[in-house]
Structure 1
Amino acid sequence: MTVTAAARLRDAIASLKETSDRLSRLSQRSYQNPYTAVDWPESVDPETEWFSSPELLSLYGTPVWDTLDERARCRLAFHEAANFYSLNIHGEKGLMQGLAARLYRRDLADVADYLHHFLDEENKHSIFFGGFCTRYARVYPTKQVSFEVKRPRDVEDFLFFARVMVFEEIVDRYNWWQGRDERLHPVARFINNNHHFEEARHLIFGRRLVEAMWQACAPAWDDELIEDVREHLTQFLVTSWREYYNPAVYADAGLADPYDLAEQAWAAPAQREHRRRTSTKLLGYLTSTGILVKEPVDAF
């Protein structure tokens, strides 16, 4: 990175100090103890209680959905809740590692205080998600594969925060919906609503940071590097969505041919439209800032 590019990045980070300080104050006011915030029941009934909103399930709107009775739909919703929480566990694990690695960098000093709150809150979220999975279900393994590609530090920083934002934008749409769904078990409503409440701050920070870093760094990148960045984010968006169609969930829910079912669900018109609708705000941000110049058709 050239001296000019480095100076632009420092200025971009400095421009976020007021936002960072305001978000830090909000985090302090809403501080909570994750070990006492939830009254975990001793057991739950996956076949009579809803743990995911039916409209958000990966088989909703597909021919298979019409063949399922109420108990089977509830059972699917329970395992998809565990999968959704597992995705968050794995996503936040990588997020916490990335934040911890960047905490005391001099060029990020103006936002360091909020990075501490960010890290603390993500750890608390993992306690909630893990609390559900380890008590009532299981933690599903992630399918995300990380390939080691040597990139300049400014590129790695941008991609890290951009991936975090992409992941959290999708998750937040589910949290927002399910935190308000009175059909859901109180524990499921709490986990989703609490996550949305704190993620709102993270998303404000993430959108402003990612845009500031793009404006500061991208002018110094050549066309090949910019294309690599765009391809990386596009593939990350596709693979993030793919994990919502988990054959292990279908198997645990007692459904036949889980791998074929995952492919059918992914390709179903209703599900393609669901992913597009859920991603509308995110795609609008990515294209309006110039980070992406076209819609990732493989995801929709």
Structure 2
Amino acid sequence: MAEQSGTTLLKDREQVADRLLEASAKHSHDPDTELDWDAPMEPGKWYVPERIVSLYDTPIWKRMSEEQRIELSKHEFASMASAGVWFEIILMQLLTRHIYDLDPRSSHVTYALTEMADECRHSRMFARSVTKLGTPYYGPGSVTRFLGRILKTTATTPGAFTATLLVEEILDRFQRLTFPDPSIQPLIQGITRIHVVEEARHVRYAREELRRQMANCPAWERQLTRTISGEASVVIARALISPAVYASVGLDVEEAVRQARKSRHRQETMRWSAEKLTGFLEEIGVIHSALDRAAWRRSGLL
């Protein structure tokens, strides 16, 4: 039976999990065998679409050569891939905590384990892509890593699923622009296509569980989730592009960071990346008060 909470119909956990397990059986991918890791990069092709590079349409951008712009896109892809490995490892720990006390025979737990297997492949795929591109590993700074450690250790269950969606839905929006774009490197198209296909299931699982958790958890847990998710939005949004990418392409780091943050195009791009997510979080009460919205605005996602 589906659970009823107010006017919102909550889909049965097992029904959702059964459908996702069926989809996983039909549409799971092995990046090690399905992607051509030995093929050389193609000259003149981008690594992320031009308009989602952080400095796009800034004064610095207008002074950069085409070659330097493409090189920056390579480092920004590597930064997002590096952040992706960090995110995926946190998400696997959050999922493990979620199922710790649940019946391992259930489809809900079986799907969580299936998703963790997907995330292991994604982490390896992202790490391998950074190696292939020959860029630095742009891992999170010490403060960001410490905040991630707190999140993965202390987050409530609804907080864990909010953090999951924060990462997955923002990257998914960028990657849905990337994989069909013929101006993008074929390897990057393949990486983002695999990630989009498999993350669609993860988003469905997290959305359904978060809706259920917010409807049924005690008031204190709802409020804690609102507070933690607002702060997490700031950390995650800023972790996507490491300032070190600018140094890697010969730019003044402080000036590049300043222009990226002031850029109206970049601000609109970040809000666009999260608009489906923030709409959903407002609908189910994660973004609820003026104070909640203030934190999300500080992140640039609202």
Q: Note whether the superposition's TM-score is higher than 0.5.
A: yes
**Counterpart in the other structure of 1:119:** 116
1:273 to 264, 268, 275: 268
**Counterpart in the other structure of 1:98:** 94
Name the aligned partner's letter for residue 244 of structure 1: L
1:69 lines up with 2:65 in the alignment = yes
Q: How does 1:31-110 map to 2 (within 5 A)?
A: 31-41=28-38, 43-44=40-41, 48-106=44-102, 109-110=106-107
Work out the CA distance in 2 between the residues paired with 1:236 and 1:150: 8
Give the gaps of 5 or more residues in structure 2: none
The Cα shift of 1:96 comes to 1.7
1:140 lines up with 2:138 in the alignment = yes
- Does the Cα contact within 8 Å between 1:88 and 1:129 map onto a contact in 2? yes
The Cα shift of 1:102 comes to 3.8
1:285 to 262, 274, 280: 280
Work out the CA distance in 2 between the residues paired with 1:104 and 1:95: 14
Question: Secondary structure of 1:35's partner?
Answer: helix
The Cα shift of 1:110 comes to 4.8
- Does the Cα contact within 8 Å between 2:90 and 2:152 map onto a contact in 1? no
1:180 lines up with 2:180 in the alignment = yes
Name the aligned partner's letter for residue 238 of structure 1: V
1:28 to 25, 28, 43: 25
Aligned length: 283
Superposition TM-score, scaled by structure 2 size: 0.85
Change (3 A) 1:117 1:241: same
The Cα shift of 1:259 comes to 2.9
What root-mean-square deviation, in Å, do the aligned CA atoms of Structure 1 and Structure 2 show?
2.6
Change (3 A) 1:226 1:114: closer
Change (3 A) 1:107 1:215: farther
Change (3 A) 1:259 1:199: same
**Counterpart in the other structure of 1:169:** 169
- Does the Cα contact within 8 Å between 1:245 and 1:262 map onto a contact in 2? no
Work out the CA distance in 2 between the residues paired with 1:127 and 1:152: 23
Name the aligned partner's letter for residue 272 of structure 1: Q
1:246 to 218, 234, 242: 242
Work out the CA distance in 1 between the residues paired with 2:165 and 2:240: 17
Give the gaps of 5 or more residues in structure 1: 1-7
- Does the Cα contact within 8 Å between 2:29 and 2:194 map onto a contact in 1? no
Work out the CA distance in 1 between the residues paired with 2:39 and 2:284: 48
Question: Secondary structure of 1:106's partner?
Answer: coil
**Counterpart in the other structure of 1:3:** none
Change (3 A) 1:110 1:30: closer
Question: Secondary structure of 1:74's partner?
Answer: helix
The Cα shift of 1:33 comes to 2.9
The Cα shift of 1:269 comes to 1.8
- Does the Cα contact within 8 Å between 2:52 and 2:266 map onto a contact in 1? no
- Does the Cα contact within 8 Å between 2:102 and 2:109 map onto a contact in 1? no
- Does the Cα contact within 8 Å between 1:242 and 1:266 map onto a contact in 2? no
1:129 lines up with 2:155 in the alignment = no
- Does the Cα contact within 8 Å between 2:47 and 2:70 map onto a contact in 1? yes
Question: Secondary structure of 1:36's partner?
Answer: helix
Change (3 A) 1:128 1:152: closer
1:192 lines up with 2:175 in the alignment = no
The Cα shift of 1:31 comes to 3.1
The Cα shift of 1:13 comes to 9.4
Alpha-carbon displacement from aligned partner over 1:84-112 (angstroms, at most 9, x marks no partner): 11111110011122223444422684510
Change (3 A) 1:205 1:56: same
The Cα shift of 1:228 comes to 3.5
Question: Secondary structure of 2:139's partner?
Answer: coil
Question: Secondary structure of 2:276's partner?
Answer: helix
Work out the CA distance in 1 between the residues paired with 2:153 and 2:119: 27
Work out the CA distance in 2 between the residues paired with 1:292 and 1:93: 25
Aligned-residue identity in percent: 25
- Does the Cα contact within 8 Å between 1:13 and 1:107 map onto a contact in 2? no
Superposition TM-score, scaled by structure 1 size: 0.86
